[in-house]
């Protein structure tokens, strides 16, 4: 639905128009478009990873999904996944969850009416802690997140931690968030624990321990069951241990846990109905969304010029590297051995204008903080951008390998939020770069952690 509205919305955007923005020749854009359409339906545009760059990047994701829909690749190149809600697996019996009537701290659904309840807006929660609106929060329970590293404007996040009466963290290491917590519940790593079965296609795969948990570490299934029982909520954790949880999942399949442990997966029965139910008001693929339109957002993806840095400032880019997993593995001694020394990428043209050279120690500053970091001059980046790898500049003295290595991008990032999706706009922060005076040899070892 909505093809005519989509066609009307993109009529003025030509290959020549796109060439001026992308720096890709118009003829190349046309060639790729023709090759792409000729390969349909066996063609796919990948939606990428962490495309939350600007406040309207939700529309970028929609544009990619719409292009795939136009190619007719659903159930050809793209297949639905059964996921954790697969009816082919069982689950422990439990009563229905009680209805929650309290106002949420993250602005859902009042400020962000379209963001799913189960996702939330993490950075909005942090800001609500600081303002005390709509009410003052006093405790924070954190699991498998590291907000001190992952939320923009780190000094603001530390201020929010300072307002808490109690913080409990479940994690496999004493990372920055755990370091500032009152209680840390040590979780077993993926090598030490079972995880619930994961359905993919016609199989449900098992993650199982290969070593015993180290120290006092326990699986998340064990931790939450113990907490639930102590809070009088034992009916919601109706399993005796991790293996019993898996046995209850396997019930409808007829497979035993011993069999699945030997093969690594359980065969799932074929689905009786291959019809996919689209979660839209019409039940169909909607190229034009009346839901978005009624909420005050463009019903079709609409081009919006991103903010442009003023002279002397740069887009701050961040991203993933092969050696590490987000903010979690920088304390691993083997990965530390093979990682590149953290640095700030800058194009040679930009470096020359600022009289900077490779391996200079520079100060990088934004409107919310500043850091010291080594400069890496490379033609692999645009002149209007700089790049730094996230996951460094840790504060926790419990990270004996990762502490004090590099600098944290969250010190620099300004908090911008996509109003439709609630995502952080991580490429909308602008920074300036200047050389640290040669006469200050200790500057490298005085990282400006808190953005002072």
User: If you compute the radius of gyration of the chain from its CA atoms, what whole number of angstroms results?
Assistant: 25
Q: Are 373 and 406 in contact (CB under 8 A)?
A: yes
pLDDT at residue 363, rounded to an integer:
97
**Gap between the Cα atoms of 409 and 370, Å rounded:** 9
Question: Is position 108 within any domain?
Answer: yes
Question: Is position 368 within any domain?
Answer: yes
Residues 206 and 72 both lie in one domain: no
Domain span at residue 379 reads 314-445
Task: Residue 442: name the closest of 341, 361, 355 by CA.
Answer: 361
- Greatest alpha-carbon pair distance for the chain in Å reads 74
Task: Residue 373: name the closest of 424, 416, 408, 421 by CA.
Answer: 408
Please name the residue that has the structure tokens 């996921």: 83
Phi, psi at 106, each rounded to 5°: -95, 15
Residues 258 and 365 both lie in one domain: no
CATH code, 371: 2.40.40.20
Residues 88 and 135 both lie in one domain: yes
CATH code, 101: 3.40.50.740
Residues 90 and 72 both lie in one domain: no
Residues 383 and 417 both lie in one domain: yes
How many structural domains are present in the chain? 3
Question: Is position 450 within any domain?
Answer: no
Question: Is position 334 within any domain?
Answer: yes
Question: Is position 372 within any domain?
Answer: yes
pLDDT at residue 83, rounded to an integer:
47
Question: Is position 272 within any domain?
Answer: no
Task: Residue 154: name the closest of 433, 451, 452 by CA.
Answer: 451
Residues 101 and 238 both lie in one domain: yes
pLDDT at residue 77, rounded to an integer:
54
**Gap between the Cα atoms of 129 and 112, Å rounded:** 17
Phi, psi at 33, each rounded to 5°: -60, -40
Please name the residue that has the structure tokens 């291959």: 274
Phi, psi at 120, each rounded to 5°: 80, 175
Residue 307 in tokens: 């903010």
Q: Going from the first residue of the chain to its last (452 residues), give the mean pLDDT of each consecutive group of 10, the final group possibly shorter.
A: 92 93 96 96 86 88 93 71 64 92 92 92 95 96 94 96 97 96 97 93 92 96 97 96 97 95 91 72 93 94 92 94 88 92 95 97 97 97 96 95 94 95 94 82 50 44
**Gap between the Cα atoms of 402 and 74, Å rounded:** 44
Question: Is position 136 within any domain?
Answer: yes
Residues 283 and 364 both lie in one domain: no
Residues 70 and 90 both lie in one domain: no
pLDDT at residue 272, rounded to an integer:
64
Residues 326 and 368 both lie in one domain: yes
Residues 65 and 122 both lie in one domain: no
Q: Is 418 left (phi over 0), alpha (psi -120 to 50) or beta?
A: beta
Q: Which residues contact 325 (CB under 8 A, 6 or more apart)?
A: none
pLDDT at residue 445, rounded to an integer:
46
Q: Is 190 left (phi over 0), alpha (psi -120 to 50) or beta?
A: alpha
Question: Is position 157 within any domain?
Answer: yes
CB atoms within 10 A of CB 149: 25
Burial string for 334-359 (b: 16+ CB within 10 Å, else e) reads: ebeeebeebbbbbbeebbeebebeee
Residues 175 and 30 both lie in one domain: no
Partners of 166 in the β-ladder = 139
pLDDT at residue 431, rounded to an integer:
98
Residues 210 and 108 both lie in one domain: yes
3-state secondary structure the chain: CCHHHHHHHCCCCCHHHHHHHHCCCHHHHHHHHHHHHHCCCCCCCCCCCCCCCCCCHHHHHHHHHHHHHHCCCECCCECCCCHHHCCCCCCCCCCCCCCCCCCCCCCCCCCCCCCCCCCCCHHHHHHHHHHCCCCCCCEEEEECCCHHHHCCCHHHHHHHHHCCCEEEEEECCCCHHHHCCCEEEEECCCCCCCEEEEEECCEEEEECCCCCCCCCCECHHHHHHHHHHHCCCHHHCCCCCHHHHHHHHHHHHCCCHHHHHHHCEEECCCCCCCCCCCCCCCCCCCCCCHHHHHCCCCCCCCCCCCCCCCCCCEEEECCCCCCCCCCCCCCCHHHHHHCCCCEEEECHHHHHHCCCCCCCEEEEECCCCEEEEEEEECCCCCCCEEEECCCCCECCCCCCCCECCCCCHHHCCCCCECCCCCCECCCCCEEEEEECCCCCCCHHHCCCCCCC
pLDDT at residue 341, rounded to an integer:
84
* Omega of the bond leading into 401 within 30 degrees of 0 (cis): no
């Amino acid at each position: 639905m909505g093809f005519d509205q989509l066609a009307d919305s993109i009529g003025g955007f030509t290959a020549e128009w796109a060439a001026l923005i992308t720096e890709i020749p118009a003829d190349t854009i046309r060639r790729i478009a023709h090759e792409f359409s000729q390969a349909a339906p066996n063609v796919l545009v990948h939606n990428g990873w962490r495309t939350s760059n600007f406040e309207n990047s939700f529309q970028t994701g929609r544009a990619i999904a719409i292009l795939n829909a136009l190619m007719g690749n659903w159930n050809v190149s793209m297949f639905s996944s059964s996921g954790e809600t697969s009816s082919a697996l069982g689950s422990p019996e439990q009563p229905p969850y009680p209805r929650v009537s309290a106002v949420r701290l993250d602005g859902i659904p009042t400020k962000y009416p379209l963001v799913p309840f189960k996702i939330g807006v993490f950075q909005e929660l942090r800001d609500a802690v600081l303002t005390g609106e709509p009410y003052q929060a006093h405790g924070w329970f954190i699991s498998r997140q590291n907000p001190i590293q992952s939320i923009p404007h780190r000094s603001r996040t530390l201020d929010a931690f300072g307002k808490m009466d109690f913080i409990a963290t479940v994690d496999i290491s004493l990372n920055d968030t755990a370091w500032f917590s009152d209680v840390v519940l040590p979780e077993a790593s993926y090598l030490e624990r079972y995880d619930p079965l994961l359905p993919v296609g016609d199989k449900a795969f098992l993650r199982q321990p290969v070593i015993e948990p180290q120290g006092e570490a326990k699986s998340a299934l064990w931790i939450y069951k113990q907490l639930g029982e102590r809070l009088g909520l034992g009916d919601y954790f109706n399993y005796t241990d991790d293996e019993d949880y898996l046995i209850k999942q396997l019930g409808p399949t007829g497979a035993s846990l011993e069999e699945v442990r030997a093969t690594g997966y359980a065969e799932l029965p074929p689905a009786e109905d291959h019809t996919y139910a689209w979660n839209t008001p019409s039940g169909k693929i909607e190229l034009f969304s009346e839901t978005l339109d009624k909420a005050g957002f463009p019903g079709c993806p609409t081009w919006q010029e991103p903010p442009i840095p003023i002279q002397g400032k740069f887009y701050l880019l961040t991203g993933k590297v092969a050696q590490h997993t987000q903010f979690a593995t920088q304390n691993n001694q083997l990965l530390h051995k093979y990682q590149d020394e953290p640095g700030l990428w800058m194009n040679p043209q930009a470096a020359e204008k600022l009289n900077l050279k490779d391996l200079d120690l520079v100060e990088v500053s934004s409107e919310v903080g500043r850091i010291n970091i080594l400069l890496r001059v490379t033609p692999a980046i645009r002149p209007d951008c700089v790049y730094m790898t996230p996951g460094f500049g840790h504060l926790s003295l419990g990270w004996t390998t990762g502490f004090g290595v590099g600098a944290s991008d969250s010190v620099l990032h300004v908090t911008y939020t996509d109003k439709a999706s609630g995502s952080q706009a991580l490429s909308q922060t602008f920074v300036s770069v200047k050389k640290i005076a040669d006469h200050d040899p200790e500057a490298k070892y005085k990282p400006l952690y808190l953005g002072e």
